[in-house]
């Protein structure tokens, strides 16, 4: 089947903003590699360690990045 893929789907819900995607206190870490283990930490602290390449993140309304 064309366009098919395999992976898990992580359903996050509504109102996932940048403070949930990567909390401010972790932005001072030296690299994205250091930061990535804290992705979605306020929502589910263990989630970053569970998401694998090929997985899909699905969110409801307002999955967004805030620009200042």
pLDDT in tens, the chain (68 residues): 577 778 899 999 999 998 999 999 999 999 999 999 999 999 999 999 999 988 999 998 988 765 55
Handedness of CA 19, 24, 29, 30 (dihedral sign): positive
Q: What is the mean pLDDT of the chain?
A: 89
Number of C-beta neighbours around residue 46 at 10 A: 8
What tokens appear for 54 in the block?
A: 């090929």
């Amino acid at each position: 089947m064309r366009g098919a893929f395999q992976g898990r789907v992580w359903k996050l819900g509504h109102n996932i903003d940048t403070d949930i995607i990567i909390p401010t206190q972790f932005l001072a870490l030296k690299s994205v590699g250091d930061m990535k283990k804290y992705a979605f930490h306020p929502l589910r602290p263990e989630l970053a360690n569970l998401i694998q390449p090929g997985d899909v993140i699905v969110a409801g309304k307002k999955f967004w990045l805030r620009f200042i």
